[in-house]
Amino acid sequence: MTCLSSVQPIPPSKDLHYDHHGPSNGQLGLSTERPTSFHNPWPSYRFATLNDAWLAYQRGAAVARPQREPKCDACGEWTRVASRSASVAPFRDTEPDNELAMPGGLFYDPDDDDNDDTEVQAWDDGEDDGPDGLSFLTRRVTHDTEQPTGYIRPEMREMQTDDDADDWREPPVCVRPPRWLCGEGEDRESNRGECGLPKPALTWIGHASVLVQIPFADGSGMAGVLFDPIFSQRCSPTQYLGPARSLDPPCSVVELPPIHLVIISHDHYDHLDYNSIMELWNLHIDTVKFIVPLGLGKWFLDSGIPRSHVTELDWWCEALVQFPTSQSGMSTPVPVTSYPPTREPEINPSSRLALKVACCPAQHRSGRGVFDQMATLWASWAVGVVPSDIKNPLAPGMKDWHSFKVYFGGDTGYRYATAPDSDETSICPAFEQIGDAYGPFSLALLPLSTGSSLPFLRKTLNISLDQYTLTSSQHCSPADSLKIHSAVKARRTVGMHWGTFCDSAEARATRVDFGRARRDAAVGTDWDNPGMKGVFIALDIGQTVDVEP
């Protein structure tokens, strides 16, 4: 069903700080100029020193020896990613009798003669056609024939006494078919809350791509909010070279349910992928709108997307997104060039869903080439369902809202890790501020690892430098993510930005590191029963979980 939403920026309050703005190209006062560059305004953002590089080297190649990856049971070859030696389970048959269950819902059939070095597996739902009448999908399974030279930190090589066995599961991350491809997406009877509506749900698409589905108030479907989509093989200027994914996306763009909002954190290639954006635009053209940080709108216009479908926001600025009951209720789209907005949005009381989308700070960088470094803004995002009993939803913040609220961390650092513990300025203050203005959150999506470029460079140049030590100002360790989880006051958190564009040794190290940090922080693991400190889990790619509002 077509559902056109309207996205209307809310004029920012006058007392906002613009200390992250660089020089601007306007003649007016600071708040009405369009900045041409940006910076991180906190002392917690620092460049790596020579000492950091030395520490990173000591923690890398000088200490750790290459780690052998497990051999594939079926063919005896070294596996590039262990899960790739597995057949994918039939959609509706989650526990086949004759197959060996592998962690994460993937199954390997030892009697299958087709386990060749390279093979194509069919997604089979037991019928001639694939799901929803699509011709069946294929997944290519590859084995590397050479022993890989993966590197993991020494403390990640062996299980420690207190480790949870699940943190050492093999493989560390798998690909599962998302719920809507398993035939459960339409009905969702088992996932209905007390009011009879489906619960909000999230699906990890891999790396930082997360789909959050929020039910319409009249039960007519779900709003699809997609963060940082990437479905391409490589996150790079070209698909011939650059960081490549080790695990396929769990679905293609055409298999996604209706997408209404695509929200981008920043312009790095692993978060803003041209092919994925173009596919989303072409296949969801009736419904999709894009919301991006300040300065990034031009990239979308240059890509051929009309300005009526793109909204730019500065840090601490907000937009109201309304889903009318019919097309006649649509408001006038607000073009990307109206910065900052001067007109208050009109609230449509008959909307079947209204969301507030707030652009929040993150401690990171931007740039897709040499000459556009820091030229566009980077951000994290808060999205909340506007409650029906709120008097003035346009007032800044969502502090007192008891509705479903999600925080997407994007790509961010939390602290400068090599500073002494006594240095309080080494911690970015933005997350406490986000928690105060928009928390508590029903759900947070937070990065667990350094991402894609650094593992690629390390592998290509064969230099084992500890990536986090070098780039802690702009990337989170699992321990940092746990700190952000509590700073923004998240009840439930899912880790992302890990395990996709790296080898399985690195994914395993992230999982083990995360498990230990979570244990140290006494944060819960039971999704259905978050304790006082909430719950923070890692999912498989494609896994869907429901969220209590």
Q: List interacting residues with Zn ion (CB under 5 A).
A: 268, 270, 411, 451
Nearer to Zn ion, 75 or 374 (CB): 374
Q: Which residues pair with 293 in a beta bridge?
A: 313
Residue placing its CB nearer to Zn ion in the complex, 245 or 268: 268
Nearer to Zn ion, 7 or 417 (CB): 417
**Smaller CB separation from Zn ion, 99 or 411:** 411
Token pair listed for 540: 């498989």
CB of 226 to Zn ion, least distance (A): 16
Backbone angle region of 387, left / alpha / beta, with phi > 0 → left and psi within -120 to 50 → alpha: beta
Residue 247, number of CB atoms within 10 A of its CB: 24
CA nearest 401: which of 392, 410, 409?
Answer: 392
CB of 268 to Zn ion, least distance (A): 3
Q: Any idea what DSSP says for residue 15?
A: T
Minimum CB separation from Zn ion for residue 486, in Å? 23
What minimum distance in Å lies between the beta carbon of 455 and Zn ion? 11
Nearest distance from C-beta of residue 269 to Zn ion, angstroms:
9
Q: List the 6-10 sheet strands across, edge first.
A: 6-10, 318-323, 353-360, 380-385, 405-408, 441-447, 490-496, 535-538
Question: Measured from the CB of residue 45, what is the shortest distance to Zn ion in angstroms?
Answer: 14
CB 148 within 8 A of CB 69: yes
Q: Residue 375 CB, nearest distance to Zn ion (Å)? A: 14
Min. distance of Cβ 159 from Zn ion in angstroms?
29
DSSP 374-422: T-S---EEEEEEPPTT-S-TTSS--TT--S-EEEE--S-B-B-TTS-TT
The CA-atom distances, in angstroms, between 291 and each of 26, 48, 240, 266, 355 are 23, 32, 29, 11, 13
Cβ closest to Zn ion, residue 47 vs residue 133: 47
DSSP character string of 254-303:
GGS----EEE----STTT--HHHHHHHHHHSTTT-EEEEETT-HHHHHHT
Q: 361 vs 451, which CB is nearer to Zn ion?
A: 451
* Residue nearer to Zn ion on the CB measure, 365 or 516: 365
Both tokens assigned to 300: 């979308």
268 versus 415: smaller Cβ distance to Zn ion: 268
Q: What CA–CA distance (Å, rounded) separates 303 from 369?
A: 17
DSSP summary character for residue 108: E
State the minimum distance, in angstroms, from the CB of residue 411 to Zn ion: 4
The rounded distance, in Å, linking the Cα atoms of 173 and 159 is: 17
Residue closer to Zn ion, measured from CB, 363 or 418: 363
CB of 109 to Zn ion, least distance (A): 35
Residue 177 or 295: which CB sits closer to Zn ion?
295
Helix, strand and coil in the chain, % to nearest 5: 20, 20, 60
Structure tokens at 292: 């991006």
Query: Shortest Cβ distance from residue 264 to Zn ion (Å)?
Result: 11
Question: How many other CB atoms are there within 10 angstroms of residue 208's CB atom?
Answer: 29
Our CB check for Zn ion shows the closer of 137 and 428 to be 428
Q: 31 by DSSP, 3-state: which?
A: helix
Shortest gap between Cβ of 365 and Zn ion (angstroms)? 7
Rg, the chain, Cα only: 23
Task: Give the pairing type, strands 535-538 and 490-496.
Answer: parallel
- What tokens does 382 get? 């808060």
Q: How far is the CB of 541 from Zn ion (least distance, A)?
A: 16
Q: What is the closest distance, in whole angstroms, from the C-beta atom of residue 322 to Zn ion in the complex? A: 31
Name the DSSP letter for residue 38.
B
Contacts of 441 (CB under 8 A, 6+ apart): 382, 405, 406, 407, 488, 489, 490, 491
Residue placing its CB nearer to Zn ion in the complex, 313 or 448: 448
Q: Kindly state the DSSP code that residue 30 receives in the 8-state scheme.
A: G
Based on CB atoms, which residue is closest to Zn ion, 268 or 492? 268
Secondary structure class of 52 (helix, strand, coil)? helix
Measure CA 20 to chain center.
24
The helix/strand/coil state of 206 is strand
Q: With respect to Zn ion, which residue has the nearer C-beta, 293 or 530?
A: 293
